[in-house]
Amino acid sequence: MDNILNPEFVRELTETAITWLSINGVNIVVALIVFILGRWIAKRLVALMRKALLRGNVDETLTSFLCSITYYAALAAVIVAALGQMGLNITSFLAVLGAAGLAVGLALKDSLSNFAAGVMIILLRFFKKGDYVTVAGISGTVEAIKIFNTYLTTPDNQSVIVPNASILSGTIVNVTANDTRRIDLVIGIGYGDMIPKAKKILEDIVAADERILKTPAPTVAVSELGDSSVNFVVRPWCKTSEYWAIRFDLLEKIKMTFDEQGVSIPFPQMDVHMFNEDQEH
């Protein structure tokens, strides 16, 4: 402490600083100019890049991510250039930075795989916000697509966070990707019931629902002679947004009409035959 407050020490330190500044002052000023000007150019380039991406209808999440990566990469280059202008040896600095980056990359390999998958999902547009999807065994409405995770809301209002790598490594089912869907119903009648009568009832029920599309035409046909029933397939087309409402209404209407018209819907059953052993002998 005494050495620091020593006037001689302070004088020598001041002279050293003045000498260093007189030698490197110009380089320091130039380095500051390079840094300030380079940072401004980086911001302008990123702003132009953002406008171009948005005009090209690139997803906003991907746009923000690409702009951030571009800005920080450009800023790192500007800092390296400024340090070099000051006369500092940046070779060792870059070597240490590269080694640190490698170590961080190995430590965060799972996160980086999620990151890469997130970029692919956003870039290839497998689904978007608001779509109802099944990914990684989870079904729900897409609330947000982030770089590392995708956020879903299930039909019973649970929030599920799914890692992007899990999504990309499995099958992706986008239920709402198309405007129309086909409803597939299997309706069984008893072997004692009249097939033409049941078929006519099913066709009338489908035709009476104005929400069902005329094109493609609905299909009502016998598909199987089952163990305990004659099975019909009922396959009408509808708007995707009305799928579940129409499906529920059709099932209810079919059951009520069959009851009114005396057509049975059998349930699985088994006939058991009992034999008397004494009679056999």
Nearest to 178, CA basis, from 213, 149, 224, 203: 213
What is the domain range of residue 170?
A: 126-174
On whether both 134 and 93 belong to a single domain, the answer is: no
On whether both 134 and 165 belong to a single domain, the answer is: yes
> For 35-63, what is each residue's pLDDT tens digit?
888 889 888 988 998 888 888 777 676 77
On whether both 20 and 94 belong to a single domain, the answer is: yes
Query: Domain of 23: which CATH number?
Result: 1.10.287.1260
On whether both 237 and 166 belong to a single domain, the answer is: no
Which parts of the chain are beta strand (E)?
Answer: 132-135, 138-145, 149-153, 159-163, 173-174, 180-182, 185-189, 219-225, 230-235, 237-239
* Tokens 């599309």 -> residue: 213
> For 99-128, what is each residue's pLDDT tens digit?
666 665 555 556 678 888 888 888 788 998
> For 168-217, what is each residue's pLDDT tens digit?
989 999 999 999 999 999 999 999 999 999 999 999 999 999 999 999 99
Task: Please compute Rg for the chain using Cα positions.
Answer: 36
Query: Domain of 223: which CATH number?
Result: 3.30.70.100
- Report how many domains make up the chain: 3
In a domain, residue 119? The reply is no
**What is the structure's pLDDT at 109?**
55
On whether both 26 and 93 belong to a single domain, the answer is: yes
Lowest mean pLDDT among 146-155, 224-233, 272-281: 272-281
In a domain, residue 26? The reply is yes
On whether both 56 and 132 belong to a single domain, the answer is: no
**What is the structure's pLDDT at 245?**
96
- The average pLDDT across 6-33 equals 69
In a domain, residue 207? The reply is yes
- The average pLDDT across 82-108 equals 64
Query: Domain of 151: which CATH number?
Result: 2.30.30.60
**What is the structure's pLDDT at 242?**
96
